[in-house]
Structure 1
Amino acid sequence: MSSVRRSVLALNAMGAAAAAGFAVRGVLRPEYVQPNRSADPLASFWAASSAVRTAAVAVPLLVSLARGDRSTPTLLAIAGAVQLGDSLLGIQRRNPGMALAPAVMGALHLATTRRLAG
């Protein structure tokens, strides 16, 4: 495996791990997701549901990237679509960090998918 390919796959893994980290942070501190607002039961619910979804995508992707198995392109495509969806939510919330980081990772996941498939 070339060093460029390893680096790209490592960037994808770091992005998936970062997404999982932010999801965990949201569960631990729901007000993190909604700055300038105190956490309420609804914010806690949405943070938990986001963490469940993120874990359901990030964990299999990280395992697949570590193993280098055939499911990696499919999981990258799913993760890319989820990240772009998260970016759209960030745009809707007018939260630049919530919009930009997922957009970049979504694009990277999808570009990597294309590269692995091609």
Structure 2
Amino acid sequence: MLTAINREHDVVVYGATGFVGALTAAYLARHAPEGVRFALAGRSADKLAATRATLPAAAREWPLVVADSGDPVALAALAASTRVLATTVGPYARYGLPVVEACSPATA
């Protein structure tokens, strides 16, 4: 049986300050259905704010989440805050595994 879990965000774009992340966020701001709760995530609050300022108007109030791929606690909090975590952080072989681990913690 599936149960609904309340999350702060529906979709988080992790790596939003990079080239692909910014393009992804811009696309979502233009095309996502109204009412979807988005957030932008990355290592730097200043860079996230600068990126958000360049996005279409629909994204101007999206929350910013600071999380470094080298910080398991921050990644776990990020994963727990959202239903979907879209990562554009690369190189994926180096930085992707900690994100996957945060999204699918081992069960005891």
Say which structure, 1 or 2, has more relative contact order (CA 8 Å, 6+ apart). 2
* TM-score, reference length from structure 1: 0.31
* TM-score, reference length from structure 2: 0.33
Question: Higher Cα Rg: structure 1 or 2?
Answer: 1
Q: Which has the higher helix share?
A: 1
Q: Which has the higher strand share?
A: 2
